[in-house]
Amino acid sequence: MKLISLKETGMKVKGLMLMKFLSLTFIVSLASCKDVQTVNQESSIASVSCQLDLESTTTKAMEDGFFKAHKSKSPVQIDGCNKDRIWSSVDWYDMNYLWMGTKVDAIDYHGRFKLAWDNQYLYILVEVVDDKLTPTLENGIENYWKGDYVELFIDEDKSGGNHKFNHQAFAYHVSTEGHAIDKNTLQETVFFDNHIEVMRSKESNTYLWEMAITLFDKQYDENSVDNKPVTIFAQKSIGFSIAYGDNDGNNSRENFMGSKKTHGNNNDEGYVNSDVFGSILFID
Ligand SMILES: [Ca+2]
Ligand SMILES: [Ca+2]
Ligand SMILES: [Ca+2]
Ligand SMILES: [Ca+2]
């Protein structure tokens, strides 16, 4: 778009220089992480491959949604690629309990995830097979909950209880555009983008979402720029569930699949009540 406006104003030389610079930047970025696109860009169509680890086995998620996360000895690079050492050393968990909608086949949807952590972040690698990726915010922010998105339910102190319009727990809707969406205390739908860093890659109809999540406790103040993240340590435990809202272009969340057998009323209570979450135990 910048190039077009430059042409219009007759600044062709500058336009060419910019094009050269952009081409060079493009080549450099390809070399650094082949064929991966940031989800923070406006386009929600991620490109090509990351040599996804499609073969390894998946551990069935327990009905109570309890998971263990192993510590990563080095920071995980959030690039949408699963090349980090920790990802090859931990198992997949599945996220295929049907919460809403009718039974899905493996072409429509299949999901699994891996967990890791260090003192600063909870890391999640999510692999989703989805036959049609619909931009989450295509129909405006008020329809954010209709998908497609990965939903992360996090209750840092495992207190349980209502969290709909407070921050004792969060239900982050991680959008295809890279936003972390939840309600604020004014009951508005807002982005908590500094809580979650996310990148996504794609191979055929398989998408890899790689995330680093900063944990905040119940003191979190949405009006402050000074919130202190929670330090993660071995044997700490948090409330946690993960789900996928699948929208295949019918302007609805056709299916909702999660990591725990049930999730409260109609399996749709997680965005209100953290009593229904499963949990993570952090181990070395
Ligand atoms: Ca990575
Ligand atoms: Ca689908
Ligand atoms: Ca809490
Ligand atoms: Ca979809």
One-letter identity of residue 264: G
214/20: higher pLDDT: 214
Give me ligand 3 centre to Cα 74, in Å: 28
Q: Name the least confident of 42-46, 163-167, 200-204.
A: 42-46
Residues, CB within 5 angstroms of ligand 3 (ion): 155, 157, 159, 168-169
118/20: higher pLDDT: 118
pLDDT at 284: 96
Give me ligand 4 centre to Cα 252, in Å: 10
Contact 242, 124 (CB under 8 A): yes
The answer, yes or no, to whether residue 249 has pLDDT greater than 60, is yes
Band the pLDDT of 50: cuts 50, 70, 90: low
Give me ligand 1 centre to Cα 46, in Å: 15
CATH fold of 35-283 reads: Immunoglobulin-like (2.60.40)
List b or e across 258-268, with b for residues whose CB sees 16 or more CB atoms inside 10 angstroms. Answer: bbbeebbeebb
The answer, yes or no, to whether residue 19 has pLDDT greater than 90, is no
3/166: higher pLDDT: 166
Ligand nearest to the CA of 84: 1
Q: Residue 238: CB partners within 8 Å, gap ≥ 6? A: 122, 154, 155, 156, 157, 158, 215, 279, 280, 282
Residues, CB within 5 angstroms of ligand 4 (ion): 130, 132, 148, 246, 248
pLDDT at 53: 60
Give me ligand 3 centre to Cα 271, in Å: 13
- Of all residues in the chain, the percent with pLDDT exceeding 90 is 77
Ligand nearest to the CA of 109: 2
The answer, yes or no, to whether residue 21 has pLDDT greater than 50, is no
> Of 33, 46, 111, nearest to 78 (Cα)?
33
pLDDT at 49: 60
Q: Residue 250: CB partners within 8 Å, gap ≥ 6? A: none
- Of all residues in the chain, the percent with pLDDT exceeding 70 is 80
Q: By CB neighbour count within 10 A (0-12 exposed, 13-18 middle, 19+ buried), where does 147 fall?
A: buried
Ligand nearest to the CA of 248: 4
pLDDT at 59: 82
pLDDT at 14: 42
Ligand nearest to the CA of 166: 3
pLDDT at 23: 46
Give me ligand 3 centre to Cα 178, in Å: 25
The answer, yes or no, to whether residue 131 has pLDDT greater than 90, is yes
The answer, yes or no, to whether residue 40 has pLDDT greater than 80, is no
Ligand nearest to the CA of 245: 4
Instruction: Report residue 154 as tokens.
Output: 């996090």
Q: Taking the mean position of all CA atoms in its chain, how far away is CA 207? A: 11
Band the pLDDT of 39: cuts 50, 70, 90: very low
Ligand nearest to the CA of 147: 4
Compute and round to an integer the Cα radius of gyration of the chain: 20
Give me ligand 1 centre to Cα 77, in Å: 4
pLDDT at 8: 35
Q: How far apart are CA 93 and CA 91, in angstroms?
A: 7
pLDDT at 54: 60
- E strands, 92-228, are 92-94, 97-100, 109-117, 122-130, 149-155, 170-175, 180-183, 189-191, 196-203, 206-213
Give me ligand 2 centre to Cα 109, in Å: 5
pLDDT at 33: 40
pLDDT at 58: 78
Arithmetic mean of pLDDT over the chain: 86
Sketch the domain layout of the chain as residue ranges.
Answer: 1-32, 35-283
Give me ligand 1 centre to Cα 75, in Å: 9
Alpha helices in the chain (DSSP H): 2-8, 12-32, 85-89
Looking at residues 65-81, what average pLDDT do you find?
97
pTM for the complete prediction?
Answer: 0.84
> Of 59, 60, 112, 64, nearest to 261 (Cα)?
64
